[in-house]
Chains A and B, each alone.
Chain A
Amino acid sequence: MRISTDTLFNTGATRLGELQTSLAKTQEQISTGRRILAPSDDPIGAARALEVTQSQSINNQYATNRNIARNTLNVLEGTLASVTSLLQDVKTAVIASGNGSLTDNERGFQATALQSRLDELLGLANSRDSFGNYTFSGFQSNTQPFVQTLAGATYQGDSGQLSIQVDSTRQMAVNFSGQAVFQGGGQDIFQTLTDLVNLLNTPVVTPTDQANLTTGLATANSRLDRAMDNVLTVRASVGSRLQEIDSLSIAGDDRNLQYSQLLSEIQDLDYTEALTRLSQQQFTLEAAQRSFASISKLSLFNFI
């Protein structure tokens, strides 16, 4: 077959160009560590990588959300622990007040001590989080939940519960309304304490007074028990939520790892394969360059 001199040079140049292009591409893959440099390298993989990236991003956001939920619940648990220990102190005081040898004056001291306990409890019930929001006012986070009255305290908040998305299908409530904590189970703690202070401030003169004091203290005692039960129920529920967050976190971290692996499988370069390919392409290019250089030197004109 005839071959034109022009074809000889064109073919050589084109082939060298092609080899250089594929070598450059391999080099870019190696320097970026990415198998997919543009969606056209693997259209399905590129689209899947975007979906997986979104799933991973959402999963990471759930982890952030869980941390917020965990912190909020921990603070809540701390407040409730203070409430429990306060109620226990009050209970001890009630039992001490039952001592028949106490004078009116001495009961008056007890009443004063209990009054400050009541103020302390109100302080806990009206506590705010680090951003200045009231913990126990439901959705009314700017409204002070409890306002003291002569008979105890009235609740100003609502029954709303702030839910946080802690997993794809789980929204977890991270607060409790003040009503549920302090006035739940048919017991208003503030009223119980106010009644108790009033009782201890009442002088005992007649046997009827003595009987009223004994009955009043017994009633206060049983009311305190129920109030404590109520708070403990709320604490138990907080504890189980914290546990649930821990197990969700373990599952979430696992998923994160899976997403990372999946992304790596889709996008990342197999270095062994790529480096082998690189040396293969280098070898071919060098061979092509050498052969082209020697073939293009052949000419009859060299001899005439």
Chain B
Amino acid sequence: MASNILGIGQSALTAAQVGLNVTGHNIANASTPGYTRQVVVQGAAMAQDFGYGFMGQGTEVSTVKRVYNEYLSTQVRSAQTTKSGMDSYYSHISQIDNMLADPTSGLSPVLQEFFNSMQDLASNPTLMPARQAALSSAESLAARFKSISSRLDEMSQGVNGQIVSSVSDINTFAAQIAQLNDAIGRAQRATGQPPNDLLDQRDQLVLDLGKQIQATVVKQGEGDYNVFIGNGQPLVVGTKTYTIFNVSSPTNPEKIEVAYKASNGSTVIVGEAGLSGGRLGGLLEFRSKTLEPAQNALGRVAIGLGTAFNSQHQLGFDLNGVAGGNFFNVPAPVVSASGNNTGNGVLGATISSVNALSTSDYQVSYDGTNYTVTRLSDNVSSTYASLPQTVDGVDINLASGTPLAGDIFLVRPTVRGASQMDVAITDPFQIAAAAQAGATGDNRNALLLVGLQTAKTLGNGTATFQGAFSQLVSQVGNKTRELELTSSASAKLVTELTSSLQAESGVNLDEEATNLLRYQQAYQAAAKSMQIAGELFDLLLTIGR
């Protein structure tokens, strides 16, 4: 009888100790990221029939489990992926936003200064200082185009670097998830109990992975996490990892892309369409939707200005009575063949109409009989049986060689427009202000050059040079604003979902304090019952004396 009380007391003492341990563990991990609180699952021990009724045998701890809500976790992860993507897009686009914001470092002041100095020249066509000032302001205009463009180029290199680091993070997370799959499986097989802290770690890794890229998690077998990204490309299957890696774009070596090895061993590039969400998705989207169009838009203003100015300048005569030449050196389109092409075809491109120019790049693909030209900004394509063809003011021709089926070319009409713009003339005498040869005081051509400032030369007659630049400013501003709002909304969503998850799984210190008291008292009570059992036994011994 007394030994039974001791046994019951012993079981209570053990349960209270487990309770105190778990409570202590919860308190210790109250602010550990990804920790879910643990609770003791405790039940009454099987009762024993003594003839006069069933006598309880104390208590027993069946398991320690974590309070985990898979549904909410998935929601948090998905919201976090969206938020990280927007944050990464936002943090990059706001750099351009801030750069364009500065009223002194933008394009507008130098553009205005250039035309103002041309006006001064028109008013004093023979005045050397006026001519020199016009030439100098043209040089500062070209220099400003270059400096803005090089800032964008720097950002592009920065994006490349970040894509590489994000890919490396993704691979690291994938490897750790695979290791945990292994460790969790072994622990479960060995004990039949859930290894709660390992499960937490794995869930936290999946959440961290989701901050880099949108990933789908499929639970399999004994609880392995299989992770897929993009269009179902496996990253982790059981304990095996499939790494992704970086390659240069075949059509543009300066551009870093994300790729994986297909089962046949070939390298497959995952386009930005296949990699959305997370830091990586945000970076790719920023590059294709904002950075490249911004560089092109700036280039279009430079090419438009240079070309229109040159055409008018060539109609005039300079101070020596010589017909005007090129005022600006206008950069040509950049055409590159894919490194994977099997034919030796080389494409060429020239700009025939700046008015029709877009700010997009174009992909030309050849299927053996037809050429398909795709405008990459909206994926509108047209098919031609032969070249040359004119698309959006760009003449695309076959310069040499023969392309074979499957060959791909990239045509970027305006990408180098800003970075390679130069002033062609060096002598102020060479500014062709006159409309008539040998008429030194003639300013008629200068007046026509000045008129270009307010002429709608770009975007099919819809925009002035300043207008086209303002368009860029407003597009970037609008997108930044949109991201500011949506990313703060998605941050709110993450906060709310995390709060809901934490409401269920997080540690509340007051609750743990209560539990401490609870288990402390349980321990004291169990000890007391054992003390009483001891006293009862002593009493029996006294009787025998």
Contacts and interface: CB of A to CB of B under 8 A. Distances in A.
B94 A38 contact: yes
Contact of B508 (A4, A14, A54, A137): A4
Interface string A161-172: 011110010010
B358 interface: no
Contact of B441 (A3, A54, A133): A133
A44 B473 CA distance: 9
Interface string B101-117: 10100101001100110
B447 A165 contact: yes
B208 interface: no
A165 B439 contact: no
Contact of A4 (B470, B506, B514, B516): B506
B502 A46 contact: no
Contacts of B166: none
A165 B119 contact: yes
Contacts of B97: 38-40
B477 A304 contact: no
Interface residues of A, number: 56
A113 interface: no
A64 interface: yes
A140 B441 contact: yes
Contacts of A64: 116, 119-120, 123
B477 A54 contact: no
A7 interface: yes
Given A40-B480, A138-B441, A139-B442, A165 B474 contact: no
A47 B439 contact: no
Interface in B419-465: 434, 436, 438-444, 447, 450, 453-454, 464
Interface in B81-108: 94, 97-98, 100-101, 103, 106, 108
Contacts of B503: 1-4, 7
B440 A50 contact: no
Contacts of A46: 101, 473-474, 477
A165 B450 contact: yes
A53 B97 CA distance: 19
B524 to A, nearest CB: 14
Contacts of B94: 38, 40
Contacts of B484: 40
**Residue of B440, B454, B504, B517 with highest tally of chain A CB at under 10 A:** B440
Interface in A41-57: 41-44, 46-48, 50-51, 53-54, 57
A61 interface: yes
Contacts of A7: 498-499, 502-503, 506
Contacts of A50: 106, 108, 466, 469-470, 473
Given A57-B112, A61-B116, A162-B441, A38 B508 contact: no
Interface stretch (B124-132, B323-331, B384-392): B124-132
B101 A65 contact: no
A141 B470 contact: no
Given A5-B507, A57-B116, A163 B447 contact: yes
A136 B97 CA distance: 54
A160 B439 contact: yes
A64 B121 CA distance: 12
Interface string A46-81: 111011011001101100110011000000000000
Contact of A39 (B37, B120, B477, B495): B477
Interface string A1-29: 11111110111001000000000000000
A89 B308 CA distance: 55
Interface residues of B, number: 68
B402 interface: no
A264 to B, nearest CB: 14
A37 interface: yes
Main secondary structure of the interface of B (DSSP, over half): helix
B125 A162 contact: yes
A2 B127 CA distance: 82
B510 interface: yes
A47 B473 contact: yes
A54 B100 contact: no
A45 B513 CA distance: 57
Nearest to A38: B101
Nearest to A157: B441
A11 B513 contact: no
Given A53-B108, A300-B514, A139 B123 contact: no
Q: Which of A160, A164, A168 gathers the greatest number of chain B CB atoms within 10 Å?
A: A160
A11 B495 contact: yes
B513 A299 contact: yes
B499 A11 contact: yes
B108 A44 contact: no
B150 interface: no
Interface in A125-171: 131, 133, 137-142, 158, 160, 162-165, 168, 171
B542 interface: no
B3 interface: no
Nearest to A18: B488
Nearest to B108: A50
A212 B304 CA distance: 71
B116 A47 contact: no
B440 A140 contact: yes
B471 interface: yes
B499 A139 contact: no
Nearest to B482: A40
Given A6-B502, A36-B101, A47-B477, 12 more contacts: A2-B504, A5-B507, A5-B508, A10-B498, A11-B495, A39-B100, A47-B471, A51-B470, A61-B119, A133-B440, A142-B440, A299-B509
Closest 10 CB pairs of A and B: A4-B506, A39-B477, A43-B477, A139-B439, A141-B441, A40-B480, A47-B474, A300-B513, A139-B442, A38-B101
Interface of B: 30-31, 37, 94, 97-98, 100-101, 103, 106, 108, 111-112, 115-116, 119-120, 122-127, 434, 436, 438-444, 447, 450, 453-454, 464, 466-467, 469-471, 473-478, 480-481, 484, 495, 498-499, 502-511, 513-514, 516-517
